[in-house]
């Protein structure tokens, strides 16, 4: 009986973990879009960076249920670390600097995780917010190191692997960021489908029950928080390396708040949520900014209110109407998208 | 089944994404249009700068038509919220996708810096209409400035203060490049004239709560405080200055004119009366050109133009004149050559573009805040003619 249950669980876990054809299609489409719009590399790079950053928040919010309003802290540490490494010529290879910056953010994540696992949601909001504000104030105070409000001067990113120069059109930057996103996405996918990832879901659903069945709740939360900090640090380092800029804005509260919006739009608790949310959020911004440079914030706000009121499920249904028709023609009835009532899987 | 639904949802969003990415990426380039990419902060803390520049440019185009040397002028307005990474991306997209002939605007120094390498690579003039750090024009040979530099006004107020019985000064400046420029130039000239700095405070740019700093100022008992805060923060400063009672304890306000910006001066209250500043523009400048400009601006937008509006007004004039002078040739190098050395009568007085540094040469006026017809104005009482940027003259 027990072996039956176990093999059942393992079977379902494997089923979830398997690559679906639409995932292949997704990544091929992303690459195709990258090749199709060579004049839009910079904004696409921004979307990729935001997607990676959102992926990081999704790991702790969507999978482990840790709310955070200060995720920009790790983004900022990664950004400044990459900037300082380059400005002082400490590490010339961008890829190596990227990893070092990620690790720096990871160390901070590990240290602060002990504060974050204490207390419930509201406490966590306050603690994470506080840490980000603290770092922003520190960066401003030590403006001799960080460049303060003017930003860090003298960032000169050397060619990637000694071969690919970061060009004005952002071509190298885009494919570099995309490759990093893809690798880290694979890693995240592996993590959330592993027994470790499943135990996180159990903790999110009910920490007490999770503890009762023998899951070391705090250790798991510390681990995922640290991993998420690494991801955010990498996103920050990508920001610095692809724009050659680092200023106090990297710690800004808006950054953390925008990230929440991205997950609200895309949906937390599935890895593509952050990726899709980043795309939709940024495109909305771009379209409204083009139409009305002065009042675009009003329209963004309005759309967000509408999204929350109408509910993501219904919007998804509307958005999927045409693809559904196509799917119906191609694959018959069973491929049609039905709406799920809760956020799966 | 849950998994399948999610993945199908992903498939649907891919289609959406592909469509969305295509939006706005089809530039229409006509031979006879001349495009100006205007990048200014329209939202966030520096929004007043962007709005004034945008207003002034619209006004100029209404007055002077939108056709120059056979070309139709088209201004593409973009909001960068004063964040340099936005500026850089917008500038790049304007140059590559919209094929603009000039990029212009730049509300803050980091924004002007961020766009500089793009101007160089794209061989496109970058007309700086607001940012005032001295070193900006050295960041690219394609940068031309129509605003001002902080050393221009700060050195002059430094000399003036030393000569006019002010012995001890406390300084309060925003902690970023323009603030540091202002402080350094003032200090050099004021101490050379025998003055003494008794207290030096730098306030964070993003957190303009002046109250705790002002208390320290009051305790130091200086004859005057030298203030630089960026356009838009002057109102808040003067309010707290009055609340702390500094006006009553006889501590005067001096500085470059950003603190008594005409845009906000009307509502600053009587505490600001008597503040002496050195600056490049006052809405009360007694010339016909300026009277007409102020009247037209007030009629169109219901507010008084400040120096940011004039920077935008002169910036678009510079582009018009350069295009006329080079016979409608839209390429960057010939425009730049035409811009160098241009001289004209601006609402602020006579100005010209220094052919060597591409920076602006203009009169600096010493003004005192007084009531004229019941309204607060910076009334000019002393003029320094054709001041070059001292930041560069030094080298």
Interface confidence (ipTM) of the complex: 0.75
DSSP per position, A278-337: HHHHHHHHHHHHHH-TTTHHHHHHHHHHHHHHH-HHHHHHHHTHHHHHHHHHHH-GGGSP
**Residue boundaries of the structural domains of chain B:** 33-148+287-358, 151-279+364-393
Share of chain A above pLDDT 90, in %: 27
**Which residues of chain A lie closer than 8 angstroms to B113, CB-CB?**
151
User: Does A13 map to a domain?
Assistant: no
Residue B311 CA to residue B108 CA, distance in Å, equals 13
Give the one of B3, B14, B89 whose C-beta lies nearest to A29's C-beta.
B14
For A344, the closest of B6, B92, B205 (CB atoms) is B6
**Which residues of chain B does A32 touch, with a Cβ-Cβ cutoff of 8 Å?**
18
Candidates B53, B50, B39, B159; CA nearest to B103 is: B39
- A interface test, pick of B9, B42, B98, B179 with most A CB neighbours within 10 Å: B9
Stretch A202-224: mean pLDDT? 89
B2–A340: do the CB atoms touch at under 8 Å? yes
- Mutation target to probe the B interface, by most B beta carbons within 10 A, among A30, A35, A38, A149 is A149
Distance from CA of B201 to the nearest CA of A (A): 13
Structural domain includes residue A97: yes
Chain A residues close to B77, C-beta within 8 Å = 293
Tell me how far apart the alpha carbons of residues A241 and A245 are, in angstroms, rounded to a whole number: 8
Say which of A15, A322, A323 has its CB closest to residue B3: A15
Asked whether the beta carbons of B115 and B144 are under 8 A apart, the reply is no
Pick the CATH number of B151-279+364-393 from 1.10.10.10, 2.60.120.10, 1.10.150.120, 3.40.50.2300: 3.40.50.2300
Tens-digit pLDDT profile for residues A238-285: 999 888 888 888 888 888 888 988 888 888 888 888 898 899 888 888
| Nearest chain A residue (CA) to B98 | A39
With contacts defined as CB-CB under 8 Å, which chain A residues touch B24? Answer: 286-287, 290
Are A338 and B1 in contact (CB < 8 Å)? yes
Task: Locate the chain A residue with the closest alpha carbon to B6.
Answer: A344
What does the DSSP assignment read for B23-71?
A: TT------TTEEEEEEEE--SSTTHHHHHHHHHHHHHHHHHH-SEETTE
CB count in 10 Å sphere of residue B87: 29
The larger pLDDT score, comparing residue A223 to residue A322, is at A223
CB contact under 8 A, A327 and B8: yes
Selecting from A149, A283, A340 the residue whose C-beta is nearest the C-beta of B175 gives A149
Q: Find the domain containing A135 and state its range.
A: 37-294
d(CA B237, CA B267): 12
For B11, which residue in chain A has the nearest alpha carbon?
A22
Instruction: Tell me the count of A-B CB pairs closer than 8 A.
Output: 157
Residue A168 lies in a domain: yes
Interface touch B176/A150, C-beta < 8 Å:
yes
Q: What is the pLDDT of residue A345?
A: 36
What's the domain count of chain A? 1
Cα angle B174, B178, B181 (rounded to 5 degrees) comes to 105
Q: In this structure, what are the phi and psi dihedrals at residue B33, rounded to the nearest 5 degrees?
A: -105, 150
Of B1, B22, B110, the CB nearest to A247: B110
Q: For A127-173, how does the pLDDT look when each residue is reduced to its tens digit (9 = 90+)?
A: 999 999 999 889 888 888 888 777 787 787 888 887 787 777 788 88
The whole-number pLDDT of residue B366 equals 92
Render A173-236 in DSSP notation, one character per residue.
HHHHHHHHHHHHHHHHHHHHHSHHHHHHHHHHH-HHHHHHTT--HHHHHHHHHHHHHHHHHHHH
Chain B residues whose beta carbon lies within 8 Å of the beta carbon of residue A239: 85
Among all residues of chain B, which has the CA nearest to that of A317? Answer: B9
What is the distance between the alpha carbons of residues B230 and B158, in angstroms, rounded to a whole number? Answer: 19
Looking at residue B165, its pLDDT comes to 85
**pLDDT for position B37:** 93
Searching chain A, which residue's CA lies closest to the CA of residue B88?
A243
Q: Do B79 and A289 touch (CB under 8 A)?
A: yes
Cβ pair B195, B169 in contact under 8 A = yes
**Which residues of chain B lie closer than 8 angstroms to A37, CB-CB?**
21-22, 25
Q: Is B335 helix (H, G, I), strand (E, B) or coil?
A: helix
User: What pLDDT, on the 0 to 100 scale, is given for residue A338?
Assistant: 43
Distance from CA of A259 to the nearest CA of B (A): 17
Residue A90: is its pLDDT beyond 70? yes
- Are residues A245 and B14, on separate chains, in Cβ contact within 8 Å? no
The answer to whether residue A232 scores a pLDDT higher than 50 is: yes
Chain A residue at shortest CA distance from B174: A149
Closest CA to A10 of A2, A219, A62, A188: A2
A-chain CB neighbours of B43 within 8 Å are: 294, 296-297
Angle between helices B177-192 and B109-122 (to 10 degrees): 110
Q: Of the candidates B3, B79, B204, which has its C-beta nearest A344's C-beta?
A: B3
Q: Give the number of other Cβ atoms within 10 Å of residue A254's Cβ.
A: 12
The answer to whether residue A269 sits within a structural domain is yes
Indicate the residue of A46, A245, A296 with minimum beta-carbon distance to B84.
Answer: A245
Tokens of B318: 């510079």
Cross-chain CB nearest to B10 (options A22, A249, A335): A22
Distance CA B16, CA B328 (A): 42
Length of chain A: 345
For chain A, the average pLDDT equals: 84
pLDDT at B245: 83
How close A118 gets to chain B, by Cα (Å)? 31
Residue A307 lies in a domain: no
Q: How many C-beta atoms lie closer than 10 Å to residue A210's C-beta?
A: 19
**pLDDT score of B14:** 53
CA-to-CA distance for A339 and B5, rounded, in angstroms?
7
Residues of B in contact with A287 (CB under 8 A): 23-24
Q: Render pLDDT for A22-74 as a digit per residue (tens, 0 to 9).
A: 888 888 888 888 888 887 888 889 899 999 999 999 999 989 888 888 899 99
Give residue A236's pLDDT band: very low, low, confident or very high (50, 70, 90).
very high
**The tokens of A127 are what?**
């603690």
Contact B93 A337 (CB under 8 A): no
Question: Is A2 within a domain?
Answer: no
Candidates A132, A124, A127; CA nearest to A61 is A124
Structure token digits, residue A63 = 């999978």
CB B62 within 8 A of CB B293: no
Written as one string, the DSSP assignment of B117-130 is HHHHHHT--EEESS
Tell me which chain A residue has its CA closest to the CA of residue B207.
Answer: A137
| Domain B33-148+287-358 identical in fold to domain B151-279+364-393 | yes
Q: Which CATH superfamily is domain B33-148+287-358 in?
A: Response regulator (3.40.50.2300)
From chain A, the residues in CB contact with B42 under 8 A are: 293-294
Taking CA atoms, what residue in A is nearest to B24?
Answer: A287
What's the pLDDT score for residue A330?
A: 67
Find chain A residues with C-beta within 8 A of B75's C-beta: none
Question: Domain of A233: which CATH number?
Answer: 1.10.3470
Give A94→chain B minimum CA distance, Å.
19
Domain assignment present for A7: no
| Cα B227 from chain centre | 17
Are the C-beta atoms of residues B307 and B153 closer than 8 Å to each other?
A: no
Most A-contacting residue of B1, B6, B38, B176 (CB-CB within 10 A), to test interface: B6
Nearest Cα residue to A79 out of A322, A269, A305, A249 = A249
- Sign of the Cα torsion A189, A195, A196, A197 reads positive
Handedness of CA B294, B261, B86, A268 (dihedral sign): negative
- Give 10-residue mean pLDDT values along chain B (395 residues): 51 51 45 89 86 93 89 91 87 88 91 89 91 88 92 90 89 88 91 89 80 84 89 84 83 89 84 89 91 93 91 93 87 90 91 91 91 88 86 63
A20 in any annotated domain: no
């Amino acid at each position: 009986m027990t072996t039956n249950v176990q093999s059942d669980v393992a079977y379902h876990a494997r089923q979830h973990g398997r690559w679906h054809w639409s995932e292949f299609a997704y990544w091929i489409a992303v690459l195709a879009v990258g090749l199709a719009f060579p004049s839009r590399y910079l904004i696409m790079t921004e979307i990729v960076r935001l997607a990676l950053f959102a992926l990081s928040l999704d790991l702790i919010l969507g999978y482990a249920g840790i709310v955070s309003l200060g995720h920009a802290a790790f983004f900022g540490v990664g950004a400044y670390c990459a900037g300082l490494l380059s400005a002082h010529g400490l590490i010339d290879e961008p890829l190596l600097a990227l990893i070092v910056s990620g690790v720096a953010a990871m160390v901070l994540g590990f240290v602060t995780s002990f504060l974050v696992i204490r207390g419930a949601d509201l406490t966590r909001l306050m603690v994470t917010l506080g840490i980000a504000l603290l770092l922003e104030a520190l960066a401003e105070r030590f403006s001799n190191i960080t460049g303060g409000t003017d930003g860090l001067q003298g960032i000169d990113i050397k060619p990637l692997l000694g071969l690919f120069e970061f060009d004005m059109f952002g071509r190298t930057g885009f494919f570099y960021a995309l490759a990093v996103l893809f690798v880290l996405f694979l890693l995240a996918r592996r993590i959330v489908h592993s027994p470790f990832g499943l135990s996180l879901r159990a903790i999110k659903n009910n920490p007490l029950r999770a503890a009762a069945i023998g899951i070391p709740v705090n250790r798991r939360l510390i681990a995922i928080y640290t991993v998420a900090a690494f991801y955010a640090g990498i996103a920050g380092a990508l920001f610095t390396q692809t724009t050659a800029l680092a200023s106090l804005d990297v710690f800004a509260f808006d950054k953390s708040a925008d990230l929440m919006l991205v997950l609200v739009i895309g949906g937390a608790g599935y890895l593509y949520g952050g990726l899709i949310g980043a795309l939709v959020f940024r495109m909305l911004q771009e379209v409204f900014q083009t139409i009305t440079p002065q009042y675009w914030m009003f329209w963004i706000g309005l759309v967000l209110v509408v999204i929350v009121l109408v509910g993501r499920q219904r919007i998804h249904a509307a958005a999927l109407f045409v693809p559904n028709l196509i799917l119906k023609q191609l694959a018959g009835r069973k491929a049609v998208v039905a709406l799920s009532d809760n956020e799966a899987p | 089944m849950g998994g399948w639904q999610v993945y199908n949802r992903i498939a649907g969003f891919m289609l959406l994404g592909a469509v969305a990415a295509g939006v706005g990426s089809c530039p229409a380039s006509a031979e006879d249009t001349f495009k100006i990419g205007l990048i200014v902060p329209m939202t966030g803390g520096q929004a007043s700068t962007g709005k004034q520049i945008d207003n002034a440019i619209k006004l100029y185009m209404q007055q002077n038509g939108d056709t120059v040397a056979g070309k139709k002028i088209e201004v593409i307005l973009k909001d960068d919220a004063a964040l340099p990474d936005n500026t850089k991306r917008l500038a790049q997209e304007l140059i590559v996708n919209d094929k603009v002939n000039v990029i212009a605007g730049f509300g803050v120094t980091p924004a002007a810096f961020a766009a500089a390498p793009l101007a160089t690579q794209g061989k496109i003039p970058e007309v700086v209409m607001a940012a005032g750090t001295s070193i900006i024009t050295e960041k690219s040979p394609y940068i031309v400035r129509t605003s001002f530099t902080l050393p221009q006004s700060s050195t002059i107020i430094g000399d003036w203060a030393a000569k006019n019985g002010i012995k001890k000064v406390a300084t309060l400046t925003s902690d970023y490049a323009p603030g540091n420029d202002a402080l350094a130039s003032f200090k050099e000239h004021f101490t050379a004239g025998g003055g003494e700095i008794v207290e030096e405070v730098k306030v964070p740019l993003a957190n303009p709560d002046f109250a705790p700093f002002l208390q320290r100022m009051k305790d130091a008992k200086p004859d005057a405080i030298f203030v630089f805060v960026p356009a838009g923060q002057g109102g808040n400063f003067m309010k707290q200055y009055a609340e702390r009672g500094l006006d009553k304890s006889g501590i005067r306000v001096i500085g470059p004119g950003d603190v008594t910006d005409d845009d906000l001066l009307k509502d600053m209250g009587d505490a600001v009366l008597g503040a002496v500043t050195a600056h490049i523009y006052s809405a009360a400048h007694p010339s016909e050109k300026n009277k007409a400009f102020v009247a037209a601006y007030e009629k169109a937008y219901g507010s008084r133009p400040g120096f940011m509006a004039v920077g935008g007004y002169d910036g678009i004039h510079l582009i018009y004149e350069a295009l006329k002078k080079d016979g409608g040739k839209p390429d960057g190098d010939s425009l730049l050559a035409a811009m160098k050395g241009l001289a004209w009568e601006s609402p602020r007085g006579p100005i010209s573009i220094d052919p060597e540094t591409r920076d602006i040469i203009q009169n600096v006026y010493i003004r005192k805040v007084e009531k004229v017809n019941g309204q607060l104005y910076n009334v000019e009482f002393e003029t320094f003619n054709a001041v070059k940027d001292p930041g560069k003259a030094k080298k």
